[in-house]
Structure 1
Amino acid sequence: MSLNTNIIPPKLKDKLEKQQYRIAGNHSAVKICTWLKHALKGEGFCYKQQFYGIASHRCLQCTPATIWCNLKCVFCWRSASWYNKELMRGKVDKPEYIIDQMIEHQRRLIAGFKNHPKVEPRLYEEAYNPKHAAISLSGEPTFYPLLPELIQEFHNRDMTTFLVTNGTNPEMLKKLDPLPTQLYVTLIAPTEESFKKTARPSFSNLWNKVMETIELLPSLNTRKVIRLTLVDENYNLVEPEAFAELFLRSEAHFLEVKGFMSVGDARKRLPYEIMPRYPKILEFSKKIIENTELKIIDSKEDSAVTLIAKEDYNWRKNLGE
């Protein structure tokens, strides 16, 4: 019988649950997004709904690798002290079980909205049956060895998938079949120097791994997004032309340029005052597209985010169909 080392320790599990995470099985988790609550009450929605058509109230924000990550990004709202930097090896939970657990936990988390005066019964019923999985909550999901099977199982349930990766595990991206509905690669910095300062990698070769992922992306036949989470000029809000060059080399469809949010453990590492507001993000976005064929095709001011692409594709928002 193999020893299961892929378990969240009990004390950490208790801490996570106090932060409104719900642990699915031994190593996975789900948490209700603030935008899901807003959307249920008719008080706004996530920028991903505006950009891509994803219904915020039907989104399952989840991860199969809650405490496994090889980076300690300064802007991350999770605690770097949680993370196990090694790949998940040995026994892991099966995808079907994980997803059943995630959906059950999500249903319990939204139960209080059932008779809420601001929530339409139709919206609650839709939220009860999530339509979209955002595999992005915590940790690095590509560390979960059954990720291809997890994505397949979501698709078997007629759910769309967003996979968010830090780009340091191209070996797993090569194994994905099917690919996620939309693949996000968080490009933490434009150069190796700024990457080391901002991402604080656990291993010396991780910038090279990110570059491998950039070179791999053109061969992956799915919707692709490069995502920037920007801090300030002392970290990664630098060299816009280098960001543009890497984006163009990746042949991704979209480039999201977003300011970090001063929430969670990010508040312990970075002063609130340096959080870039929308005007600064817009200004930096304009520098990225300067002297290129790129253009800003959308933006959401309250999320301090812009969307850049070569063109505004007519299929961009069809994920809600």
Structure 2
Amino acid sequence: MAAPEPSRKAERFLTQQYRLVGRHSAVKICHWCKECIRGRSPCYKYDFYGIDSSRCLEMTPAITCNQRCRHCWRDNSLFSRDLPHPVDEPKDIIQNCLKEREKLLIGFKGNEGMDQKRFALCLKPNHVAISLTGEPCLYPKLPELIKEFRKSGFKTIFLVTNGTVPEMLKRLTGKAAPTNLYLSLEVFDKPSYQKFCLPLEKDNWEKLWQSMKEIKKLKKKNPKMRTVIRLTLLKYINMEKPEALLPFIKEIQPDFIECKGYMFVGYSRQRLKQENMPYFEEIQTFAKKLTKLSCYKTAGQVRTSNIVLLKKS
């Protein structure tokens, strides 16, 4: 029997160098992982958190999202609202992500001058970024997935959420708590949120605020877990009033704030303009203003990634 024709969604993902895993997961090799394997500069996560980019597994258990954010570099027209049922098991997702990741990397082995010891090590990831695409908190077995990553020998687990699934955050405690829990923020009031994030559910803004309360509670239960607000900074959209962020900081009291510049790449070029991309100096200025308004101080910066890290003092 002939293999079924790939769907439009699958074809688009494959063209963008994703590899689909099971019914609703995906894996991809990021730019910084490739650079690190070649012996070049690592991702900013190395400078900030000591993460070895060459041993990073970037994946998602949910190629679906409940928002259509304008700055998203993915083709978010491909996002469906719900996951297929029944969902895949965590152990199967991890095993197949590792297999697909190895297939994506195997071509590096024959590169001229490749350090074979480094290459062999990169095939054994010890860090996972659950952030590739979609909203991972929509995967109903996320706590079990995080636990399974730990059982599989992963030392650090970073989870990025848009904060619209507070009921899932309640479950991320104990061994299900990630190393870093990121809340991604772009705009700071409901009208702007409705226009920029284009939520598919009417009460997503209210869910975001509930998630912030849950993150604060989670931190108390899991003091070793690092909480992070990740700001995607866009000129003429969210950089004029740093003080608008203060209610969010007060609510979460995160360990870190990442001020990261928007990049004019991918499908976001169909929704935004190149002038929305800030220069590094503008990000530094924004971060400096934020330090004057809060108890956070500059803890690091990486020009090549257009990012400044603030830490609670």
Do the structures match in fold with TM over 0.5? Answer: yes
In structure 2, the residue matched to 1:90 is 85
Secondary structure at 2:293 match in 1? coil
Deviation, structure 1 residue 302:
1.3
Q: TM-score, normalised by structure 1?
A: 0.90
Q: 2:177 aligns with which of 170, 176, 179?
A: 179
In structure 1, the residue matched to 2:311 is 309
Deviation, structure 1 residue 62:
0.3
Deviation, structure 1 residue 292:
2.2
In structure 2, the residue matched to 1:74 is 70
Of the structure 1 ranges 26-35 and 188-197, higher mean CA displacement relative to structure 2 is found in: 188-197
User: What's the CA shift string for 1:127-156, capped at 9, x where partnerless?
Assistant: 111111100011000001111111110010
Unaligned runs of 5+ in 2: 1-5
For 2:240 and 2:274, locate their aligned partners in 1 and report how far apart those are by CA, in whole Å: 19
Q: 1:54 aligns with which of 51, 62, 71?
A: 51
Q: Number of aligned pairs?
A: 300
For 2:8 and 2:268, locate their aligned partners in 1 and report how far apart those are by CA, in whole Å: 22
User: What's the CA shift string for 1:218-266, capped at 9, x where partnerless?
Assistant: 2112111110011122x22242112133123202100001111111101
Unaligned runs of 5+ in 1: 1-8, 312-321
In structure 2, the residue matched to 1:3 is none
For 1:45 and 1:245, locate their aligned partners in 2 and report how far apart those are by CA, in whole Å: 33
For 2:240 and 2:200, locate their aligned partners in 1 and report how far apart those are by CA, in whole Å: 23
For 1:254 and 1:40, locate their aligned partners in 2 and report how far apart those are by CA, in whole Å: 28
Deviation, structure 1 residue 89:
6.1
In structure 2, the residue matched to 1:281 is 283
Counterparts in 2 of 1:253 and 1:124: CA distance versus 1, 3 Å: same
For 2:228 and 2:295, locate their aligned partners in 1 and report how far apart those are by CA, in whole Å: 17
For 1:291 and 1:261, locate their aligned partners in 2 and report how far apart those are by CA, in whole Å: 26
1:224 aligns with 2:227: yes
In structure 1, the residue matched to 2:265 is 263
Give matches, 1:1-321, under 5 Å. Answer: 10-66=7-63, 68-86=64-82, 88=83, 90-159=85-154, 160-177=156-173, 178-220=176-218, 221=222, 222-233=225-236, 235-311=237-313
Secondary structure at 2:275 match in 1? helix
For 1:248 and 1:163, locate their aligned partners in 2 and report how far apart those are by CA, in whole Å: 21
Cα pair 2:181 2:228 within 8 Å, conserved: yes
Of the structure 1 ranges 184-193 and 52-61, higher mean CA displacement relative to structure 2 is found in: 184-193
Deviation, structure 1 residue 11:
2.3
Of the structure 1 ranges 178-187 and 28-37, higher mean CA displacement relative to structure 2 is found in: 178-187
Cα pair 2:57 2:125 within 8 Å, conserved: yes
Percent sequence identity is 41
> Which amino acid counterpart does residue 117 of structure 2 have in structure 1?
R
For 1:77 and 1:199, locate their aligned partners in 2 and report how far apart those are by CA, in whole Å: 13
For 2:209 and 2:276, locate their aligned partners in 1 and report how far apart those are by CA, in whole Å: 28
For 1:215 and 1:293, locate their aligned partners in 2 and report how far apart those are by CA, in whole Å: 20
Where has structure 1 moved over 2 Å in runs of 4 or more?
Answer: 235-239
RMSD: 1.4
> Which amino acid counterpart does residue 164 of structure 2 have in structure 1?
T
